[in-house]
Structure 1
Amino acid sequence: MSATRLLVLGVVRMHGSAHGYQVRRELLTWSADKWANVAPGSIYHALRKMETEQLLEVASTEAHPGGPDRTAYRLTEDGETEFQLLLARYLSESDDSAQGAYRLAAAVTFLTALPRTRAVNLLRHRLTELAGQHANAQNLLDTSDDWGQPEHVHELYRLWLTSVAAQEEWLRELVTRLETGKYTMADDDGDAFGAPTKQI
């Protein structure tokens, strides 16, 4: 699963309904093409695919002078479930691939769409997984001489270890910030970023 899927669901959810151009404009305003590898064409593809999967449904269609009609989508009940599942998975599961980094960035964008305790618990789960990766990286660094590898390969293990340690530090600090009341979350008074627009 790509970061684009979560981001598109999140933007449509946040606005109540949105058409492709609106989703694209929102994500490009956030520079999501840089930190989440969101290609503009992938946004329209994701909208159409999720409509066929019944995660989105057509909310309205309006004629657009000089171009194709604009179809606005809204989340279905299954779409809301998918949003919540992806958000939880991307926050809690540690994946050190490039795609994993994009998914984490997308999930952090909509972190405040969760209740505070749920967000903290998911991040603590990720910390547990990172502790295992830290131990693996340290073990590789400590024992790689026994494998007959070139000496400079140690630098790869040091890079991995440093990267994991930096993520652990950031996560611990984020958990502390959340536990001390930082950010307006879904179960707080006030408007949390990413919360669905209240329909009048």
Structure 2
Amino acid sequence: MPSSRSLQFSEDAESVLRELLAYSLLTWGPERHTAGHEGQPGNRWRWRDGLAERDTLPGRMGWSRPTAALAGTGVRARRTVSATRLLILGALRFMQPAHGYSVRQELESWRADEWANVAFGSIYHALNRMAEEGLLAPVDAERPSRRSARISYVVTPRGEEEFQRLLREYWWERKPLVDPFQVAAAFMNELPRDELLTALGHRLALARGTIDALGFEIAAPHTEEKPRHVAQVLRLSVERLEAEIRWVEATLAKVERGELP
């Protein structure tokens, strides 16, 4: 039980908080974890005493020591895993049989990293995990010359049941969007005025650049490999970015006039 006296941040905790705040304000994109490509090391997250810690495995660039971040009860993590599962099952259903690399290529063509909170390198792990759970079944391995075998998968009846369950859950229930930028914005008063103005301007540039990139994807010709409704999904990302631009512009003007923070 904590004592009745006030709790104070240590200098290290204060440093981490400011680092996370600045990072969230200066980057754009859904919150995600990172993973290496198939057979390569990546970043490993673990829970300890209510905190999420990331260890950088050998061979990957990252923090020199584990970085701790405030974490909730794990509901958000489970929701992320379920959304990734729905995405991979859905893609595999019309591609099957397919191996991890072809699924990754397909989802990259959908720009799924912009709207589905998926790290492409984690696809291989997700496929293996779903196969262990009986949602997927491996079929004959494809062996390119001088490369290790690629295992192709098909969706099992149990996997089809899981896909239909998740599909309807996400259509009929509203899930809160978790945006680290919005969390950081709640503490805009912690940044010096000049840095805050620069960060807001940077956010505008990032959002506009992403809209331009998504515009090229939306205008790309429809193919059998890329369902035509994917363009409509990308338009949702564009409209959310446009809403963020309006908010940032209004906030920037208020900061310049001294009305915020």
With normalisation by structure 1, the TM-score equals: 0.48
**Structure with the higher strand share, 1 or 2:** 2
Of the two, which has the highest radius of gyration? 2
Q: Which structure carries more relative contact order (alpha carbon 8 Å, separation 6+)?
A: 1
With normalisation by structure 2, the TM-score equals: 0.37
